[in-house]
Structures are given as structure tokens and as C-alpha cells.
Amino acid sequence: MNTRYDVEGMSVVVMGGTTGLGLSAAQALVANGAHVVVTSRSEANVQSALQILGSGACGFAGDASQPETAEKAVALAVENFGRLDALYHVAGGSGRSRGDGPLHEMTDAGLSYTLDLNLASLILSNRAAVRQFLLQGGGGCILNMGSVLGWSPSPEFFASHAYAAAKAGIVGFSQSIASYYAKQNIRVNVIAPALVETPMSQRAVGNEAIVRFVAAKQPLDGGRVGNPEDVEGAALFLLSRAAKFITGQVLAVDGGWTVSEGREA
């Protein structure tokens, strides 16, 4: 990418930074002079990402839903890069295979798994980052990964109600802590994509009916499924020093999802 962002020298933790949207952002951060720590549940994904990211990155395998994972990521950033400047929490995913779905079909296990994966893990990473920001002083930045499904539902194709609840919860949580910690110059924002092609979205991307729906629901650029690079610029802006006067905001990077009916003309 050619655009330069003011992240030079920043130390950034990217939870879930080894594939899809997280890896795309980590690559852009490194390309713009930042240092990154990336995490994943998969050791193989971590090693693959570190080969791509080069000497400006380090990382480890850990479960983001466990508190020690975020704590270790923050400590690694401080150890290797001197401080923590920003956290980008991308880790999360679908709980459909574990029992998420329409409310009347949702299992107890699916509810617990989906909330832990998408909401509890994010709260834990935000807590670890805020504690470090307060300890070192000078403020900091948090960017949380939401979804347009948190407030703009799609009942026919994306009826995963625990996932929607988690993503809506991310907005409320992020705005609440943005308000509380603004006096400490800690910024907290949310980026909310629509359907983007990532490892998580393969079920949807492989479904012809969903692809046709998305072509109308996300009409920008000819009507299509998004790419990780479509989200990259907005994420880097919100993480960068250029966004130093922005907090408590939710930015939908959605190809027009939230302003479209989703029907072919």
C-alpha cells in the first residue's frame, strides 16, 4: 500500500493478528514503521505470520479467552519495544459450529463459547492494555473489532444471535471505557466490517445465495464481498496519531451494508 500513516515507532499488540483482518493490519503497521506483537491460538499460524512480518514483529500462540494471553502479549510488547502504544483486538469468530444460531435453536454451549470468543476475550485484552497505559502514563489507543451485525441484522443468512449480542456488547463496552478513561488520554474506538473474505467467512463466501445477497447489500465497488485490505486503511487511521482526537466512535467499513436494502434493483 502507498498511503503513509503516522504509526512510526509505535508498539502495537494485535490480538488475532496472524490471519485475515488481523494479519492484514499487522502487515500494514509494520510497513508503516510500527512494531507489532501478534497472537493466535495456532502456533503454525503464528510462525507463518512472523515469516511474513519480519523483524518488526514477534508473537506467540495463546487462547485470547484466557486472561494470561493478553497479559503476556502486553508484557512482550513492553519487553521488546519499551512500551505499549496501542491494542487492536481482532480475535473472535463464529460460534455456529458450536451451537450458535437462531435463539430457539441455540445451545447453552454455543452461547457460552461465542460470548467467550468474541466478548470476554476482548474485555480481557482491553483490561490488560488499560492497566499498562495507566502504569506507564501518556495515554494509549485501543481499537476493537465489531461487526455490522451488532446493529444491522440479516435474518435470512446471518442469524447467529449470540454472535450479534457479542458484537453489540463490544460497542457498549468500548464506548463506556472510552468515556471513563478519556481524561487519561486513552482512546477507544470500534471498527465494524460487513462480510469480508477471511478464514472465518468461508461458509458464507462459498454460498452462492449469500454472495448474490451481498452483491446488493454491499453495493460499493461493483457489489462484492470485502477484502481485508478494504478494512486496513480505516484501522490504521484509528490506531495512528492522526486520530488522536477521536474516541468512543464506531466506524462501519461495510461496502454500504448499513444503508442498503440488500435487494437487486
User: Which residues does 47 contact at the CB level (< 8 Å), separation at least 6?
Assistant: none
How many CB atoms lie under 10 A from the CB of residue 96? Answer: 16
44, 68 in Cβ contact below 8 A?
no
220, 155 in Cβ contact below 8 A?
no
Q: Is 163 a catalytic residue?
A: yes
Q: Checking DSSP bridges between strand 86-89 and strand 140-145, what pairing results, if any?
A: parallel
Minimal CA–CA distance to 140: which of 175, 69, 88? 88
Grid coordinates of 50: 512472523
What is each CA distance from 52 to 23, 30, 118, 198, in whole angstroms? 9, 10, 26, 17
Measure the CA–CA gap between 179 and 170, rounded to whole angstroms.
14
Residues β-bridged to residue 60? 39
Output DSSP code: residue 196.
Answer: B
Which of the following is catalytic: 5, 88, 163, 181?
163
167, 149 in Cβ contact below 8 A?
yes
CA 208 to chain centre: 26
Catalytic residues: 163
